[in-house]
Structure 1
Amino acid sequence: MRAQTNNNNYITVMGIDPGIAVTGFGIIRGRGSQIQPVHSGTIRTNSTECVAARLKHIFINLKDIMNTYQPEEVAVEEVFFSRNVSSAMKLGQARGVALMTAFTCGAELGEYSALEVKKAVVGFGRATKEQVQLMVQRLLALSRKPEPNDVADALAIAICHFHTLQSRWPAETLRGRTRRK
C-alpha cells in the first residue's frame, strides 16, 4: 500500500553521505522553489567494533531517523573509485545499508555521484568542500556553514535530488507522488 505525500504539498527528501566511520544525513522539505532544512547530523560508529556491528548501528539509526521524519525520497551518494580497496569495500557496505534501509522504509530512491551533486548545488563539478558548504548554507538560509563535511554533503545530496525531482515532474505530479510500502 502506498501512503500519500505529507500535508501542504511539501515533499521531504533525505540525503545520505554513507561512511563506515561517519554517515552524514540531511533532511530537507520543499515545494516549488522553496526548500528548508528539517534535520541533519551524523551517525558515528565505534572503530573497535567489527564491521557487522558498525553496519547494524548505521542501519538502526537510519531506520529511526526515517521512521521519525518519513521522507518520501532518499538520495544516496554513489561510491567513488578509490585506490584503497578495503576502504572502498567498507564504504560500499555502508552505502548498501543506506539503500536497503530507505527501500524497506518505503522511500523512493535516488543515487548521485559526487560530481553530479557538486554540479547541481554549486554549478561546478570540481567544487571544493568549502564551496559546497557555503552553497548549502546559502540555499537553506542557514546562519552558519553546515558542519562537519558529512552533514554538508548529505544536505547537498538532498538538494540535488530535490532539484532533479523538480526538473523531471511538474509541481502537480510531485504533490501526487506516493511512497512505496
Structure 2
Amino acid sequence: MRVLGVDPGLTRCGLGVVDGGLGRTVTCVAVDVVRTPADSDLATRLLRVSAEVEEWLDTYQPDAVAVERVFSQHNVRTVMGTAQAGGVVALSAARRGLPVVFHTPSEVKAAVTGSGRADKNQVTVMVTRLLKLPSRPSPADAADALALAICHLWREPMRARLAEAEARAAELARAHRAKLAAAARRNRAGDSATGGNR
C-alpha cells in the first residue's frame, strides 16, 4: 500500500510518500515541503498548495492520503490556515476517489515513537531510522509528513478490522433483535388463539 502523508500548512506544507510492505516494513518514496510566501493572499497560497498536491497525486498514485488533524492552538490565524490547507488536500484526494484519513498528532507520535508525547526531534529521529534514510528529513514538516504516512500504514489495517468487527457485531445484534421480536409476536398470537378457544 502506498500512502501520501500531509502535514498541512500555508507557510510550509509537508508531503511524504511511503510504501508499506510485509509486516511493518516501510520505504520512503518521496518527501518535500511546499512553501508559500506569507505576503501572498490566501487564495493564491491555497492554489499553490493545491497544485503541488495534485501533481504529487498524479506522479505517485497513492492508495490513500493521511492528513494531520488540526487542533486549536493559541494562534487562531495559524490554525485557520492549517485547516484550510488540509481541506484543499482532502478535496484533491476526494476528487480521485481516494480515502482520506485524519490522524491526531498524538496518534502519529505514538505510532512512530511509542509515545504520544514525543517531541518533534524524537519523531524525526525515529522516521529517519524506520525509513533507513541517509539523513534527517528537514524541515520538521517533511519528517511529520512521513510520520503521518507510516502511522496510516500501521494503524489503518487495525482500524479497518475493528470497524469490520463492529459492523458484524451490529448486524448480529440486529438479527438477534429481529428474532426476539418475531418470537414475541408468535407468543402473542398463540396467547390470543388460546384465549379465543376457552
* TM-score in terms of structure 2 length: 0.78
Residues 47-98 of structure 1: per-residue CA shift (max 9 Å, x gap): 2210000000000110011111000110000002112222211111111111
Find the counterpart in structure 2 of residue 47 from structure 1.
38
> Aligned partners of 2:104 and 2:156: how far apart in 1?
16
Aligned to 1:19: 9
* Shift, 1:30, TM fit: 1.3
Number of residue equivalences: 160
Work out the CA distance in 2 between the residues paired with 1:86 and 1:75: 23
Structure 1 residues not aligned, in runs of 5+: 1-10, 171-181
2:154 maps to 1:156: no
Q: Give the one of 134, 148, 151 matched to 1:143.
A: 134
Could you say what secondary structure the match of 1:97 adopts? helix
1:146 positional shift: 1.3
- Report deviation, 1:108: 1.1
SS of match in other structure, 1:16: strand
The answer to whether 1:101 aligns with 2:123 is: no
Give the CA RMSD over aligned residues. 1.2
Q: Secondary structure at the match of 2:142?
A: helix
* Structure 1 partner of 2:71: 80
SS at match of 1:146: coil
CA distance in 2, matches of 1:45, 1:84: 19
Structure with the larger RCO, 1 or 2 (CA within 8 Å, 6+ apart):
1
Q: Say which structure is richer in strand.
A: 1
SS of the residue corresponding to residue 39 of structure 1 reads: strand
Which amino acid in structure 1 is aligned with residue 19 of structure 2?
R
Q: Does the 8 Å CA contact 1:75/1:158 hold for their aligned counterparts?
A: yes
Deviation at 1:15, TM superposition (A): 0.3
Give the greater-gyration-radius structure (CA): 2
The answer to whether residue 19 in structure 2 is matched with residue 29 in structure 1 is yes
Identity of aligned residues (%): 40
Amino acid corresponding to residue 141 of structure 1 in structure 2 = K
Query: Which structure has greater helix proportion?
Result: 2
**In 2, Cα distance between the equivalents of 1:142 and 1:58?**
26
Aligned partners of 1:32 and 1:166 also within 8 Å: no
Distance 2:60 2:95 in 1: 15
Which amino acid in structure 2 is aligned with residue 98 of structure 1?
V
Q: How far 1:99 sits from its partner (Å)?
A: 0.9
**Following the alignment from structure 2 to structure 1, what is the Cα–Cα distance between the partners of residues 11 and 70?**
15
